[in-house]
A and B are shown apart, each in its own frame.
Chain A
Amino acid sequence: MDFFIQLLVGGLSVGFLYGLSAMGFVMIFKSSSVLNFAHGELIAIGAYFFLAFVTWAKIPILLSFLLALAGCFLLGILIERIFLRPLIGEPLIFVVMLTVGLAAMFKGLILFIWGGNLFTYPDFLPKALGIDWKIIRIPPVYGATLIIGTLFLILFGLFFKFSSQGIYMRSVADNQRAALSLGVHVKRVFALSWAIAALVAGMSGMVLGIINGVNVHDLSGIGLKVFPVVILGGLDSIGGAIIGGIIIGLLETFTGGYISPSLRDVVPYIVLVLILLLKPYGLFGLKEIERV
């Protein structure tokens, strides 16, 4: 029973992280229906920004965190401006392949600057964030993750539901032509959604870095985990991404714990194929409202 609870807690925490990482991915897909293969690299870049600020520049933790977020935000804008804007209106495969190329470029750059070694952040989290009952033990990192993640989720929920800019972003995702006719700055919306996505990705990268250490191969690998997560949750649902993440996380830890550790990494994809066959738009994806 202890083992079961351990797995449950582990799975929930890992899954929440997956969901958090997937949020940025969903955001880009929602606004511009681009499948971002460079997402893992964006996650990694966030972690390395934080690393650079904390260990090289020796800036206080909180400030570094904010600076790294700002850096990711700017990077997102730059990516959209330089690489994606010229491709508006081109077939999707080009856009998707462009993100593949970007992924290789970013990975090369990170490897060039930092190499493939494992880095760790200095320990800074207060112990009080963790929970240590007899059976359930949650290290402080996960406590922090839960708080940050929930905060971001609520913030983005409010942003998309109530702020004008959030509503403009949703309108572009919904009907680009109509949005254009009302004077919505569609290009600005694209830039903003890339910026926010990079920011969220970077944030999850930092959290992952705190938990597992910073290594470009591990972090960019998370970018591929995102696919089963978002398919499960529906490609266009941010809340669904979190739930999808938790389901995949639980699935992984339980297969790893009870069946075989080697099956752990492939189970999400098997589930993915099954879901695609049975429920093509995911568990929480929008059902198409089709009218003629």
Chain B
Amino acid sequence: MHPCGNFRERYQQELSVFTTDFGRIWTGIGILLLITLVPLSASPYMLYIFNMIGITAIAVIGLNILIGFTGQISLGHGAFFGVGAYAGAIFSTALHLPMLLCIPAAGLTTALVGMIFGIPSGRLKGLYLTIATLAGQFIIEYVLIHWESLTKGTMGITLPPASLLGLSLRGDLGFYYLIFISLAGMVWIAVNLIRTRYGRAFIAIRDNDRAAEGMGIPIFRYKLLSFGISSFYAGFAGALWAFYMGSITAEPFNLGLSVEYIAMVIIGGLGSISGSIFGAVFITLLNEALRFMTGLLMNSDLFSTSELNIAPLREFVFGLAIVLFILLEPRGLAELWRIIRSNFRLWPFSY
């Protein structure tokens, strides 16, 4: 049980990830269910959605480290995701590295790229930096399409069939395990990163960078580090995505993707790791539901004449979701989840 009030006596308690055994046990049960029950009972389509959520969640956690914890708004995350995807594909096709190496290597490459595009953060703050990352987005997009000797331009790259330690990963199920083990690992790293001096430095920079500098935190170095870590997550997710999809082109890694990632961070909850996962789940499900709905409406007789006019509804609803969340619950799904949880915990005597 949670005591009413703050009765922590040591720093270890303050830093603990789970405040109660209850939470620890339920997290364990949840992970167990995800590993055992889901793959057995889910259809391939469901598994596909789970996989997309997992990949997206990794990328969003990365972005949340940058935006939610370090306070640097980046509009280039979609492009970094793309860099990861291309790096993974190129390592695999040109250098014939095994997948197990390709994915982290892609993450590291993207981290390097991210740090290069994070250099403006040394001199720029706030919205100016956001615009600089926007420029980064367009420049990376351009390079991905026009560096033909490396990326094969608009043709895209087809990856060899994925295999892990000699075993071939076939279908959605194999990837399901790979993606969720990666996600669990990445969450573990992120949660613990925030508890270290690096995480605390990030938060200090977010809250007041002048003061942080005064306290002796080399802010430029930490900002770069944050860009690097966040891009590593994006690149890792991108490479996973590339292997999962089997072939890639530069098209999906546009500004829309970056915006979608930021939307997930905000809808999930700024500065909350679990919120990032919620955000990924929410937007992915929303996208799928809207796709399903539009498909349904187009096939029905009602709209057969004006089928073109239904697709924009997706765009509209997506925008509406962002607007409503910002206006009604700016702290996102993580906050809603906390409220629900605390209501249940103390039910029927919630105070």
Task: Contacts A87-B326, A97-B322 given; indicate if A112 touches B127 (C-beta within 8 A).
Answer: no
- Find chain A residues with CB under 8 A from B141 CB: 266
A96 within 8 Å of B (CB atoms): yes
The closest CB in chain A to the CB of B328 belongs to: A86
Interface residues in A112-158 by Cβ distance below 8 A to B read 112, 115-116
- Find chain B residues with CB under 8 A from A90 CB: 330
Minimal beta-carbon separation of A108 from chain B (angstroms): 3
B131 within 8 Å of A (CB atoms): yes
B313 within 8 Å of A (CB atoms): yes
In the complex, are the beta carbons of B320 and A97 less than 8 A apart?
no
In the complex, are the beta carbons of A115 and B323 less than 8 A apart?
no
In the complex, are the beta carbons of B309 and A112 less than 8 A apart?
yes
Partner of A109 from B130, B270, B312, B326 at Cβ < 8 Å: B312
Q: For the complex, would chain B's binding face be called helix, strand, loop or mixed by DSSP majority?
A: helix
In the complex, are the beta carbons of A109 and B316 less than 8 A apart?
yes
B134 within 8 Å of A (CB atoms): yes
A98 within 8 Å of B (CB atoms): yes
In the complex, are the beta carbons of A104 and B128 less than 8 A apart?
no
In the complex, are the beta carbons of B135 and A269 less than 8 A apart?
yes
- Find chain B residues with CB under 8 A from A111 CB: 309, 311-312, 315
The closest CB in chain B to the CB of A115 belongs to: B308
Most A CB within 10 A of own CB, among B126, B316, B318: B316
A81-114 vs B, CB cutoff 8 Å, 1 = contact: the mask equals 0010011001011101110111111111111100
Q: Chain A residues in contact with chain B, CB under 8 A?
A: 33, 35, 83, 86-87, 90, 92-94, 96-98, 100-112, 115-116, 224, 227-228, 231, 235, 262-263, 265-266, 269-270, 272-273, 276-277, 280
Chain B interface size, as a band, is 35 or more
Task: Contacts A107-B312, A269-B138, A280-B123 given; indicate if A100 touches B263 (C-beta within 8 A).
Answer: yes
The closest CB in chain B to the CB of A41 belongs to: B319
Minimal beta-carbon separation of A166 from chain B (angstroms): 24
Most A CB within 10 A of own CB, among B120, B318, B319, B321: B319
B67 within 8 Å of A (CB atoms): yes
B296 within 8 Å of A (CB atoms): no
Task: Contacts A92-B126, A93-B266, A224-B255 given; indicate if A272 touches B132 (C-beta within 8 A).
Answer: yes
The closest CB in chain B to the CB of A34 belongs to: B127
In the complex, are the beta carbons of B322 and A98 less than 8 A apart?
yes
- Find chain A residues with CB under 8 A from B132 CB: 272-273, 276
How many angstroms between the C-alpha atoms of A272 and B124 in the bound complex? 13
Task: Contacts A266-B139, A273-B139 given; indicate if A97 touches B316 (C-beta within 8 A).
Answer: no
In the complex, are the beta carbons of B315 and A104 less than 8 A apart?
yes
Partner of B135 from A94, A110, A112, A272 at Cβ < 8 Å: A272
- Find chain A residues with CB under 8 A from B318 CB: 101, 104, 108
Q: For the complex, would chain A's binding face be called helix, strand, loop or mixed by DSSP majority?
A: helix
Partner of B316 from A112, A262, A280 at Cβ < 8 Å: A112
Q: Chain B residues in contact with chain A, CB under 8 A?
A: 67, 73, 119-120, 123-124, 126-128, 130-132, 134-136, 138-139, 141-142, 146, 255, 259, 262-263, 266, 270, 308-309, 311-323, 326-327, 330
The closest CB in chain B to the CB of A97 belongs to: B266
- Find chain B residues with CB under 8 A from A100 CB: 259, 262-263, 319, 322
Partner of A96 from B130, B142, B312 at Cβ < 8 Å: B130
Partner of A112 from B119, B313, B323 at Cβ < 8 Å: B313
7 chain-A/chain-B pairs, Cβ below 8 angstroms = A33-B127, A90-B330, A107-B316, A112-B312, A112-B316, A227-B131, A227-B134
- Find chain B residues with CB under 8 A from A265 CB: 138, 142
In the complex, are the beta carbons of B67 and A273 less than 8 A apart?
no
In the complex, are the beta carbons of A83 and B138 less than 8 A apart?
no
How many angstroms between the C-alpha atoms of A97 and B319 in the bound complex? 10
How many angstroms between the C-alpha atoms of A227 and B120 in the bound complex? 16
- Find chain B residues with CB under 8 A from A276 CB: 120, 123-124, 128, 131-132, 135
- Find chain A residues with CB under 8 A from B330 CB: 90, 94
The closest CB in chain B to the CB of A84 belongs to: B327
How many angstroms between the C-alpha atoms of A98 and B135 in the bound complex? 20
How many angstroms between the C-alpha atoms of A273 and B267 in the bound complex? 29
The closest CB in chain A to the CB of B323 belongs to: A101
How many angstroms between the C-alpha atoms of A83 and B130 in the bound complex? 22
Most B CB within 10 A of own CB, among A33, A106, A224, A227: A227
How many angstroms between the C-alpha atoms of A103 and B309 in the bound complex? 18
Q: What would 17 more interface pairs be, CB under 8 Å, given A35-B130, A101-B321, A105-B315?
A: A92-B127, A93-B67, A93-B270, A96-B73, A97-B262, A97-B263, A100-B322, A104-B316, A104-B322, A105-B319, A106-B319, A108-B319, A111-B312, A227-B134, A266-B138, A269-B139, A276-B132
Task: Contacts A111-B311, A262-B146, A280-B123 given; indicate if A231 touches B128 (C-beta within 8 A).
Answer: yes
